[in-house]
A and B are shown apart, each in its own frame.
Chain A
Amino acid sequence: MSVKTPSKLEKILDSDQLAITSECGPPRGSDPNAITKKAELIKNHVDAINITDNQTSVTRLCSLASCIHLKLMGLEPTLQMVVRDRNRIALQSDILGAASFDIHNILCLSGDHQKFGDCPQGQNVFDIDSMQLIQTVRHMRDEGKFLGGDDIARPPRMFVGAAANPFADPFEIRVPRLAKKVAAGAEFIQTQCIYNLDKFELWMKMARDRGLHERVYIMAGVTPFKSAGMAKYMKNRVPGMDVPDEVVKRMAGVPKEKQPEEGINICVETIQRLKECEGVRGFHIMAIEWEEKVPEIVERSGLYPRPQVE
């Protein structure tokens, strides 16, 4: 793999150092401070910050504008883009919009079904899927052309990412699906939150057996539990999530006031163990509405200070 974009995240991954990303969810309103405050909390401890795109289909301030706020702070955003709400015209247009602000990372996603959000009666689009969005960004960047075939003046220079969920079903196609995303052009992967480490390590082994770890940078996703209730909710209610019973038991086994600390402990232990897993090239810390804990997680995991790259 060689560096193809000005992305700092790509340079750090290319330098063989473990990369750290985190994410901020935009507000349900237009106050830019909601974004900039979260970014302030984590900016010294991460290499890039994902901005979610109307996650769980709840209408929020848009990912692109939020990324611009980060860019104006001198930070490195990763534009999350779902194919649920925009057709190929709007997707390409927003990619160019992001490129015009020199946003250099993009994460290509399907998006949760709108049933889960605040507009369950709305239309969805799904003109293209996440696999095809990866292809689209790569096409725009590498060929300098629109999907329609015309030339792009000043093509986007984006490091192209995708999600992978090692825990969704059917398990047997989870690695073939990763291979498919790599073939489509994904350059980095951020995984679903990992609680079942044995299963994740099996998935990584299967990925290594196909040499995929040498063709794509895999960043392991982690989310600290704030409470035993959250662990139970994630286990039972969130589609595609695998939370083993012993993790729920461990959270429930400590007094309520100690549970946040236990959640952080589990998260740090996860990172420590997966640092040793061949093919894991970094961590994506999704501290949902708990951004202030990201610095502690990074420091206790021995991943601070963050590397400086040219």
Chain B
Amino acid sequence: MIVAEKKPIEEVIAMVKDFRKILIAGCNECVTVCEAGGKREVGILASALRMYFMQQGNKMEIDEVTLERQCDHEYLEEIRNTIDQYDAVLSLACGVGVQFMAEKYFNKPVYPGVNTCFMGVTEERGVWTERCQGCGQCILDRTGGICPISRCAKRLLNGPCGGSTKGKCEISNDLPCAWQLIIDRLKELGRLDEYERIAPVKDWSTERAGGPRKVVREDVRQ
């Protein structure tokens, strides 16, 4: 999933304080799972803002909605008939949802209520960690199913570096060394001999470096 974090409320207040009526729009997908922008967080943020603006003597009206997804036309259309009554939308979706909302409702200011962080997993409740950077050319078949691009601080394709200590990365004792994980797993799979294959220089043109990306599937296109 896409993992996001709530923005500090001061930052949110600074964005919306000059409006009279806003819509806080949550998303029922990734940001719900990572507890940053689902129905529950929409409710909590709406209550906190109402309380703050009331104390300030500011008559701010705040409505709440949580869409199934903000990255699909179909669900964003659900607010087509009501959006005109709001001065602005505060979207708690990831950056993708915020942008798609802004594209669809071109004359409506849309503000981000979360910081979008990475593609990752729930390691345990309240702990999410990165697993993929969407490089566009998966190499997990060669690295024991562990991605050095997203999990090594230096993105080394031929690691580990000299900073790997007791299974940890040189940048933090909290961070496992990706190459230690890769070696442990290759060993478990009886494939440690593959470690000595040199990974060639990577083609990064399918990654961010190649510019904004697009996938077109003619077979499913309508």
Contacts and interface: CB of A to CB of B under 8 A. Distances in A.
A129 B158 contact: yes
Interface residues of B, number: 30
Interface in B147-187: 153-167, 170-171, 177, 180, 183-184
Given A129-B157, A132-B201, A136-B201, A239 B163 contact: yes
A168 B161 CA distance: 8
A184 interface: yes
A169 B161 CA distance: 9
Nearest to B170: A239
Interface string A119-138: 00000101111111001100
Interface stretch (B23-31, B37-45, B135-143, B192-200): B192-200
Contacts of A172: 183
Contact of B198 (A170, A173, A183): A183
Contacts of A132: 157-158, 198-201
Interface stretch (A46-54, A107-115, A196-204, A222-230): A107-115
A302 interface: no
Interface in A193-232: none
B211 to A, nearest CB: 15
A196 B146 CA distance: 32
A139 to B, nearest CB: 10
A234 to B, nearest CB: 13
Contacts of B161: 110, 130, 168
B117 to A, nearest CB: 16
A84 B196 contact: no
A128 B201 contact: yes
B183 A115 contact: no
A239 B196 CA distance: 24
Pick the most buried of A131, A176, A183: most chain B CB atoms within 10 A of its CB: A131
Contacts of A131: 157-158, 198-199
Nearest to A163: B162
A106 B109 CA distance: 54
A7 interface: no
Interface in A175-193: 176-177, 179-180, 183-184, 192
A168 B195 contact: no
Given A110-B161, A132-B200, A132-B201, A115 B154 contact: no
Given A113-B154, A163-B162, A172-B183, 7 more contacts: A128-B202, A129-B158, A135-B198, A168-B162, A169-B166, A170-B167, A180-B196
29 contacts: A112-B163, A113-B153, A113-B171, A115-B153, A126-B156, A129-B155, A129-B156, A130-B156, A130-B161, A132-B158, A132-B201, A135-B198, A163-B162, A165-B162, A168-B164, A168-B165, A169-B164, A169-B177, A170-B183, A170-B184, A172-B183, A173-B183, A173-B195, A177-B160, A183-B198, A239-B163, A239-B164, A239-B170, A240-B164
The 8 closest A-B pairs by CB, nearest first: A165-B162, A131-B158, A239-B170, A239-B163, A240-B162, A126-B155, A129-B156, A168-B162
